[in-house]
Structure 1
Amino acid sequence: MTLTETPSVVLAHLSDVHLPPPASLPSWRHFTNKRALSVASWKRHRVHHHLPALSDAVRDDMHAARPDLILNTGDLTNFGLREEFSNAASWLGTMAAPCLVVPGNHDAMVREPWHDTAAKWADWTEKTAEGAFPYQREEGDLAIIGVNSAIPTPPFMACGRVGAAQRARLAEILDTTRDKCRVVMIHHPPRAGLVPWRKSLLDLKAVAAIIAQHGAALVLHGHSHDATLSTIPGTSIPLIGVPSASLQSSRPWRHSGWNRIAIARQSAGWEIDLTTRQFTQAEGWRCSRHRNWLIRDGQG
């Protein structure tokens, strides 16, 4: 998968699948504090809006597009249960192309042993240990960098944090991959205003400053459930959001969907072609946006 040898590399970006929890949930002793509130919310509201049929439709549509790489920016689970991580690993195993994942806030709802939870996704996180993010994967002229912003938070909060150690490693990776097309994956968007404060990235200014200083071609995020397109503050680096893959919503920009991103090497830099596809059971598929731009060498 080398950009200089093919017209383009196609990435499929999805997020916030929120796969159904086990049919028989564990005993209520597992659901104290925040989990109990989340279970109540699931039973009252979310189970009626996050539909397996929609995430299956997104997966099938992605597969039909024959992407070279699938990038998942977190929240495969609802409560961060051990059983949910196993179920999500099975679902990831159905992907028709190599897949990379970063955790989301629902995947870190409460503190649990790493080996019982996200370690089950080792095949899709470059076998990265709990304290060793970001990971990187290089495919020809492409460098994918997976940042972990997921942390346990108090009830009614869904904030994230990258932390100083991970930010330092991110800067190093961005520097050592300057000759490649660098794509950063993170669950929480590193820009204010895309989600409410209680769901924000607590160190977003510091993370955005690292990316602005060391450069990237684009940054992909989840969490907002919105098909947004903005930039890293102070730069022209695209910051791309994606709808939840399983959400049935009355608001068109939040309909379930995924991003198709084609990247091609040009003489002056990297050509990025973005198409967002969204699906409703009533109307089927539609292309909700299409953007194309050039990231010049030295710009990102």
Structure 2
Amino acid sequence: MSDSCSDIVHLAHLSDVHLPPPPRIAARDLINKRILSLMLWNARRRHVHLASLGDAVVADIASCKPDVIAVTGDLTNFGLPVEIESGARWLAGLPAPSVIVPGNHDRMTNLPWADGLAQWAPWMAASPGQFPYVRRVGPVCLIGVNSAIASPPFMAYGRVGQRQGERLHAILSRTRGSYRVVLIHHPPRAGLVKPRKSLLDSYKISGILQSAGAEMVLHGHSHDATMTTVPGTDIPLIGVASSSLRSSLPLRQAGWNDFSISPISKGWDVTLIRRQIDAEGRHNVLSEHRWQRHS
């Protein structure tokens, strides 16, 4: 990914797109928890995760002309090869250079990487062993962490693991001086999702971030437009609503995060505009936040 022409970097963040699955799924693919997830999709999720909202989010992002788009997982519903292929076409059609990390739905089963998520290599690491990966856009350093693992039925937890954790610490250490944005699907903080959906090694990842530092952590999974901090630090930990979800709750209605990151003399000036797409497809500003981080 090439550097942006300006020191000011415009970053779009969206997550949990849940692209519509194929109309027919072969019986041989309904293994492990996929059958349960398909039943949930047919009973409820297909009525609230709407492709029209996801399309409106992408159109709104295009109108804002970001330098880069970060997708924090769950592009699919069942992690089927055909869904991952559709996800690759969707990523290729985004209106700016993009990066992605997998979510639990993208890794619903132990499908061999080469048969599935390898199709997303142009937008993330080419293999599990290459996470965390790094993409630079001007002074911003995007660091993609893979927390997606196959889990039992009724569970949606994630794990980063020791090897990735060690690589993350090393990457954060050597990229000091950049505006380091960590991308992860599962939030590294207890209480943002139910325990059965949590990051199992959240405490260890929070410790790495506390030790090596970061300027911001972006996550998905919760379907909530939240703004907290990484435990034990003042590092902003920022979630986003699902980009396709219709909800009566404003913080869960489909939307995306619009960041402007500007270098200043002693660090960084950051503006976050929460943009929302209402049930009628209208674009709204939900909230605006501005802060500075010292280098």
CA distance in 2, matches of 1:69, 1:283: 23
- Aligned equivalents of 2:23, 2:174: Cα separation in 1: 46
Cα separation, 2, equivalents of 1:34 and 1:46 = 16
Q: Which amino acid aligns with 2:171?
A: I
Contact kept? 1:217, 1:295, Cα under 8 Å: yes
Residues 202-232 of structure 1: per-residue CA shift (max 9 Å, x gap): 0001001101110111000000000000001
1:194 alignment counterpart: 192
Partner of 2:47: 48
Sort the Cα spacing of 1:109 and 1:283 in 2 relative to 1 into closer, same or farther, 3 A.
Answer: closer
Match of 2:288 among 285, 290, 293: 290
**Could you report, residue by residue, the CA deviation over 1:248-289 in whole angstroms, capped at 9, with x for unpaired residues?**
111111000000011000001011110111111337222111
Residue of structure 1 in register with 2:202 after alignment: 204
Alignment-derived partner of residue 115 in structure 1: 114
Secondary structure at the counterpart of residue 108 of structure 1: coil
What's the secondary structure of 1:45's corresponding residue? helix
User: Once the two structures are aligned, what percentage of the paired residues are identical?
Assistant: 51
Structure 2 residue ranges without an equivalent (≥5): none
- After superposition, the C-alpha distances for 1:107-134 in whole angstroms (9 at most, x for unaligned) are 0101001011110001100x43122200
Tell me the equivalent position of 1:104.
Answer: 103
Q: Distance in 2 between matches of 1:288 and 1:156?
A: 32
**1:7 shift after superposition:** 5.7
Shift of 1:150: 0.1
One of 154, 159, 179 as aligned partner of 1:156: 154
User: Could you list the per-position Cα deviations for residues 130-152 of structure 1 after superposition, in whole angstroms to 9, with x for gaps in the alignment?
Assistant: 22200001222111100000000
1:262 aligns with 2:268: no
Q: Distance in 1 between matches of 2:29 and 2:87?
A: 19
Q: Please list, as runs of the form range in 1=range in 2, the aligned pairs for 1:1-300 lying within 5 A after superposition.
A: 6=6, 8-25=8-25, 27-125=26-124, 127-282=125-280, 284-297=282-295
Whether contact under 8 Å (2:10, 2:259) holds in the other structure is yes
- The runs of at least 4 aligned residues of structure 1 exceeding 2 Å deviation read none
One-letter amino acid matched to 1:137: R
- Residue 213 of structure 1 aligns with an amino acid whose one-letter code is S
Contact kept, 8 Å, 2:189 with 2:231, in 1: the verdict is yes
Q: Which runs of 5+ in 1 are unaligned?
A: none
**TM-score, normalised with respect to structure 1:** 0.95
Equivalents in 2 of 1:137, 1:2: separation in Å? 10
- TM-aligned CA distance change 1:162 to 1:262, over 3 Å: same
Paired with 1:24 and 1:34, the residues of 2 have a C-alpha distance of: 17
Question: Across the two proteins, how many residue pairs are aligned to each other?
Answer: 294
| Greater mean alpha carbon deviation, residues 239-248 or residues 138-147 | 138-147
Matched position secondary structure for 1:131: helix
What amino acid sits opposite 1:152 in the alignment? A
> For the Cα contact (< 8 Å) 1:217–1:238, is it kept in 2?
yes
**Partner SS, residue 281 of structure 1:** coil
8 Å Cα contact 1:67/1:97 also seen in 2: yes
